[in-house]
Amino acid sequence: MKYMIFVLACTGLFFGCVSGQDILTPDDNFIIMEQRISNLEKKSAQSARSVQLESLKSRMDNSVKTREEKEQNLRNRIAEIRITLNKLTDEIQIIRGKLEETEYFMKQKIKPFEKVNQKREEQITKMEEILTSQRNRIKGIEQYLNIESDLYDAKSKSDSEKKPERKEKKKLSENEMYALAKQALDQGDFEAAREGFLEIIKKYPGSGWVDNAQFWIGDAYYREKWYEKAILEYQKVIENYPRGNKVPASLLKQGFAFFNIGDKANARLILKELIKKYPKSNEMKIAIKKLKEFK
Contact 231, 265 (CB under 8 A): no
Half-sphere exposure of 19 (CA within 13 A, CB side): 3
| % residues pLDDT > 70 (the chain) | 62
> Residue 55 is which amino acid?
S
Q: Is the pLDDT of residue 20 over 50?
A: no
Buried/exposed code over 135-145 (b: 16+ C-beta within 10 A; e: otherwise): eebeebbeebe
Determine the structural domain holding residue 16 and report its residue range: 1-40
- Residue 141 belongs to a domain: no
- Confidence bin at 191 (pLDDT 50/70/90): very high
- Residue 181 belongs to a domain: yes
Q: How far apart are CA 165 and CA 141, in angstroms?
A: 36
pLDDT (0 to 100) of residue 198: 94
Identify which of 126-140, 149-163, 238-252 has the greatest average pLDDT: 238-252
Segment 199-218 shows an average pLDDT of 92
pLDDT (0 to 100) of residue 110: 64
- Residue 281 belongs to a domain: yes
- Residue 69 belongs to a domain: no
pLDDT (0 to 100) of residue 123: 60
> Using one digit for the tens of pLDDT, what is the confidence trace for 31-60?
887 788 888 878 777 777 777 777 778 887
CATH value at residue 247: 1.25.40.10
Is the overall model pTM greater than 0.85, yes or no? no
pLDDT (0 to 100) of residue 54: 79
Q: Is the pLDDT of residue 239 over 60?
A: yes
- Residue 258 belongs to a domain: yes
Between 22 and 31, the higher pLDDT residue: 31
The total number of structural domains that make up the chain: 2
Q: Is the pLDDT of residue 248 over 90?
A: yes
Between 57 and 240, the higher pLDDT residue: 240
Contact 218, 237 (CB under 8 A): yes
CA 226 to chain centroid: 43
Q: Is the pLDDT of residue 164 over 80?
A: no
Q: Is the pLDDT of residue 78 over 60?
A: yes
| % residues pLDDT > 90 (the chain) | 35
Contact 182, 212 (CB under 8 A): no
Q: Is the pLDDT of residue 29 over 80?
A: no
- Residue 22 belongs to a domain: yes
> Using one digit for the tens of pLDDT, what is the confidence trace for 131-158?
565 555 555 554 544 444 344 444 444 4
- Residue 66 belongs to a domain: no
Contact 294, 264 (CB under 8 A): yes
- Residue 251 belongs to a domain: yes
